[in-house]
Amino acid sequence: MEEKDEDNGSFDPSIPEEGPSAPPPGWLDSVSGYEDDNGDDSSDQICPPPPDLFPHPENDRNASVPNVMVPQVSEDVAREALLKFVKKKWTYSSKPALNLVYKDLKPFTVYRYCLETYTESRSSAWKHETYTGQFVDGPQYGLSPKPWNVEVQYPPKFTDMVKKVRVPHTSSVKNCYWCHGKGRVRCSFCHGRGRMQCMSCHGMGHSSNRRCAGCHGGGRRACMRCHGTGLIMCRKCNGNKKLLHFIQLTVTWKNQVYRFVPDRQTGFPIKKFEKVSGELFFIDENLLVYPVEGFPDQEICCASKDAIREHWYKYSASSRILQQRQTIELVPLTRAVYSYKEKDYEYFVYGTENKVYTAKYPKSCTLL
Ligand SMILES: [Zn+2]
Ligand SMILES: [Zn+2]
Ligand SMILES: [Zn+2]
């Protein structure tokens, strides 16, 4: 059959071309408590929580902390830690570590303060799915709960998590906004004509004076995307013509952590403390915690006061504070001064793991 160079007859002006990516304004019904949500997929932050979910800090309240003993590291422990450290460094010899003479082992009192604020925030957005006859939880089943009243299952405290839930009674079924309920849309490659210029001959019908085999000389051939029909299945409703719209609530739990170690200029890089454990001797957990008071290290008291205030301003404005916890750990730090071959050196043993840090280690003379 000879194909003619004309548009395919399937062009149907009543079937729309692919529509906008989101339903147009006014397409969806307004739901009380979610008025700010428009049709697009972006989430709207819901803030702040209502007053009854809002903890109120009491003024002039403080937390007191017990006194602690500073742990002491013995020469044996200090040497063992250094040997372990040296074995991991291929350029270091264990000979100096075995033969050095200790001159001084000085323990430092290092406290690490930590404040955790466990927050919950909520946002909502309109979502949709293909409607194929599933149950529709619409407004006839009752009033939709307000964002902060939607019930969700809580994760364990201080655990980060994101949960998405469908807000009850917000569902409705509408004609698909993309295809206007037709199930199909006009192909945007060929604009619904079903045929396109032949790529082999660039529409000439021939090349090198020979009839083009790709289009049998017609210069046009069936559109590859819609296979000549001019129409493609609507990818919003998958051809089902209807969409189920609903409001999705996103609940985000986040543990906000602040850590502080005072820098006492001991020659030890303070960042090293981040990767070791300490001895936990003070833990204070409550809906809200209060500044540490009467603790011998004034810098820790100040850090506690500032961090609590900062977390309160930062997180109570946009989220709900569910719980707070403050801890103080004693992180062991000992400076070991020793002599080796009539020269003085030093290194640090730190953390309950007895890790070692040294800026300088004696060169071994065993290598010839
Ligand atoms: Zn051709
Ligand atoms: Zn097409
Ligand atoms: Zn559709």
Q: Which DSSP string corresponds to 54-89? A: ---PPTT--EE----PPP---HHHHHHHHHHHHHT-
Does any domain span residue 17?
A: no
184 Cα–ligand 1 center, Å: 29
Does any domain span residue 300?
A: yes
Which tens digits make up the pLDDT trace of 313-362? 999 888 999 999 999 999 999 999 999 988 999 999 999 999 999 988 98
DSSP state at residue 17: B
202 Cα–ligand 1 center, Å: 6
d(CA 228, CA 195): 6
183 Cα–ligand 3 center, Å: 5
Tell me, rounded to whole angstroms, the distance of Cα 344 from its chain centroid: 49
Closest ligand relative to 213 C-alpha: 1
> Structural domain tally of the chain?
1
> Is there a contact between 205 and 211 (Cβ–Cβ < 8 Å)?
yes
End-to-end CA distance of the chain: 93
Does any domain span residue 181?
A: no
Closest ligand relative to 18 C-alpha: 3
d(CA 101, CA 338): 5
184 Cα–ligand 3 center, Å: 6
Tell me, rounded to whole angstroms, the distance of Cα 3 from its chain centroid: 57
Kindly list the distances between the CA atom of residue 320 and the CA atoms of 120, 154, 212, 306, in Å, as whole numbers in the listed order.
5, 13, 70, 20
Q: Which of 246, 180, 149 is nearest to 13 (CA)?
A: 180
2 Cα–ligand 1 center, Å: 14
3-state secondary structure (DSSP) of residue 147: helix
Does any domain span residue 74?
A: yes
- pLDDT reported for residue 317: 86
23-47 per-residue burial string, b: 16 or more CB within 10 A, e: under 16? beeeebeebebbeebbbeeebbebe
Query: Is this structure's pTM higher than 0.85?
Result: no
> 3-9 contacts: CB < 8 A, separation 24 or more?
3/215, 3/216, 3/218, 3/220, 3/221, 4/218, 5/205, 5/218, 5/219, 5/220, 7/193, 7/194, 7/195, 8/193, 8/194, 8/195, 8/228, 8/229, 8/230
Tell me, rounded to whole angstroms, the distance of Cα 287 from its chain centroid: 24
Does any domain span residue 322?
A: yes
Closest ligand relative to 238 C-alpha: 3
Range of the domain at 299: 63-117+251-357
- pLDDT reported for residue 40: 64
166 Cα–ligand 3 center, Å: 22
Does any domain span residue 110?
A: yes
- pLDDT reported for residue 263: 83
d(CA 20, CA 186): 14
Q: What is the enclosing helix (H) or strand (E) of 299? A: helix 298-316
186 Cα–ligand 2 center, Å: 8
Beta bridge partner(s), residue 347 = 336
Does any domain span residue 7?
A: no
- pLDDT reported for residue 215: 87
Per-residue pLDDT of the chain (368 residues; tens, 9 = 90+): 444 444 444 566 777 777 677 787 777 888 888 877 766 666 777 766 777 777 777 777 777 777 666 677 889 999 999 999 998 887 888 889 899 999 999 988 889 999 999 999 999 999 999 999 999 999 999 999 999 999 999 999 999 999 999 999 999 999 999 999 999 999 988 988 999 998 888 888 887 788 888 888 888 999 989 999 999 999 999 999 999 999 999 999 999 999 999 887 678 998 899 889 998 888 999 999 999 888 888 899 999 999 999 999 999 888 999 999 999 999 999 999 999 988 999 999 999 999 999 988 987 654 43
260 Cα–ligand 2 center, Å: 63
189 Cα–ligand 1 center, Å: 18
The token duo for 38 is 């428009």
Does any domain span residue 189?
A: no
124 Cα–ligand 3 center, Å: 24
173 Cα–ligand 2 center, Å: 29
> Is there a contact between 212 and 200 (Cβ–Cβ < 8 Å)?
yes
